[in-house]
Chain A
């Protein structure tokens, strides 16, 4: 599945993204399952709030971490997220 760069990214209302104190990790929760996230994946997903397209999200993160060249990694991760239903585009 590919990301449409014109449409905003939204975290799925059928999933829950939550910080787990015990594990010191973000997790995605859904019916009968959970996924533990590393820090960068969690940072990306937290920005999928319906207000940003992929290019906007990339530039926000590059600014936040004072770096460049994140486009490929972020795109690859978001494609996985889309395929798993963690995010949608409408």
Chain B
């Protein structure tokens, strides 16, 4: 086991509860595990309430209800109410599918603080294609209703090769909808996005152009709309400070109760991620093997081990190191100091070659149960 339990362990601040893997949409960049169909079990209402209470007790404060589509859980208002009583700041991360005005009011009364609605593109045609479901007009209606009922409105658009050319229209749409926050999330290549990377990864030119447009817009809306811009780390030369450091800030609970230090950790070998049905949140956070695995920097290999930047990025993302090098202890290959940094350029070149093909030759793999059973 790599980590050490005697470093000063900070309490979790962020709790993410993935209430369900069920989702009416089929986004080909979804961050859920490819084999999610293997995990059909969901925690009961009482179990979720216990998770919220226990995590709050050890310091969690920001709470994200996500999935899948959290609106498919009928007990959502009850869980929101419980969270409010505990003093959480509750965020609902939704595709908008299944949202009604009645529900928006009901959730507000239960104490929900904010709703984030995702939109896939600026046009109906592309949105409905990417989502794999006709949903564009309804999403816009939901965005209006969120505002109308006094929630801060966060619009989230995941950016990739199929929609990156729409950047100006996406920004105009956010402005027209009156978003208070706009999250422009360049695709992170995990889960389904990893499987579809050749069709989703934009070229450097596309990325730079889009970034420039977003930057100019940021100044244009300063004071009115806040922009969260998630960079695509394939075009950086240092990795992201993943999860703000393993087991320092963030705790994710999967639908079946498995506790994860990061939402992709389920795919890492030998972590034995604990289940909330078998251990308390406090034991999971402070004592479990999985949460201690990459705490601190004892586990690091070279070049990270002797690098003077290791406190800045903790060697990058463990899941990305594993996905791209096959070894979860290695330096995140996004880092230009990584001996395996070349795999990033290879990925970019391969994606560019696929760009020349027509989509029929290698279609997108949509996120649904039928496809999930193939993994």
User: Most A CB atoms within 10 A — which of B11, B89, B152, B228?
Assistant: B89
Tally of contact residues, A, Cβ under 8 A: 17
A14-B180 in contact given A29-B113, A31-B154, A85-B226 (Cβ < 8 Å)? yes
B4–chain A nearest beta-carbon distance, Å? 24
Which of A18, A23, A31, A83 has a CB less than 8 Å from the CB of B114?
A: A31
Q: Number of residue pairs across A and B with beta carbons under 8 Å?
A: 43
Q: Is the CB of A32 within 8 A of B11?
A: no
B62 within 8 A of A: yes
A22 contacts which chain B residues (CB < 8 A)? 11, 58-59
Which of chain B's residues have a CB closer than 8 A to the CB of A34? 13, 61-62, 89
Name B11's closest neighbour in chain A (CB-CB): A22
Asked if A66 is at the interface (CB within 8 A of a chain B CB), the reply is no
A69 at the interface (CB under 8 A from B): no
Does B232 lie at the interface of the complex (its beta carbon under 8 Å from any beta carbon of A)? no
Interface residue from A13, A14, A32, A83 paired with B228 (Cβ < 8 Å): A32
- Residues of B142-182 whose CB lies within 8 A of A: 150, 152, 154, 180-181
Q: How does the 8 Å CB contact mask read for B338-371 relative to A, with 1 for contact and 0 for none? A: 0000000000000000000000000000000000
B-contact 0/1 string along A5-29, CB 8 Å cutoff? 0000000011010101011000101
Asked if B31 is an interface residue, CB under 8 A from chain A, the answer is no
B223 within 8 A of A: yes
A30 at interface, CB cutoff 8 A: yes
Instruction: Give chain B residues whose Cβ lies under 8 Å from the Cβ of A1.
Output: 223
Contact of B113 with A16 in the complex, beta carbons under 8 Å: yes
Chain A residues with CB below 8 A from B89, complex form: 16, 18, 29-30, 34
Closest to B151 in A: A14
Q: Tell me the complex Cα distance, A16–B83, Å.
A: 15
Interface centre among A16, A22, A32, A33 (most CB of B within 10 A): A32
What's the minimum C-beta distance from B35 to chain A, rounded to whole angstroms?
A: 28
CA separation between A34 and B61, bound complex, in Å?
9
Q: Which residue of chain B has the shortest Cβ distance to A14 in the bound complex? A: B152
Known: A1-B223, A85-B226. A31 touches B116 (CB 8 A): yes
Contact of A32 with B62 in the complex, beta carbons under 8 Å:
yes
- Check A29 against B116 for contact (C-beta < 8 Å): no
B203 within 8 A of A: no
State A54–B181 Cα separation when bound (angstroms): 28
In the complex, chain B residues whose CB is within 8 Å of the CB of A16: 89, 113
B62 to chain A, nearest CB (A): 6
Contact with A along B10-41 (1 / 0, CB 8 A): 01010000000000000000000000000000
* A41-79, CB < 8 A from B: none
Enumerate 10 A-B pairs (CB-CB under 8 Å) in ascending A order.
A16-B113, A18-B87, A22-B11, A22-B58, A29-B89, A30-B152, A31-B116, A31-B181, A32-B154, A34-B89
6 tightest A-B CB contacts, nearest first: A29-B89, A14-B152, A31-B114, A22-B59, A31-B154, A31-B152
Residues of A within 8 A of B (CB): 1, 13-14, 16, 18, 20, 22-23, 27, 29-34, 83, 85
Q: Report B's interface with A, CB cutoff 8 A.
A: 11, 13, 58-59, 61-62, 87, 89, 91, 113-114, 116, 150, 152, 154, 180-181, 183, 223, 226, 228
7 A-B pairs besides A22-B58, A32-B91 with CB distance below 8 A are A1-B223, A22-B11, A29-B113, A30-B89, A32-B154, A34-B61, A85-B226
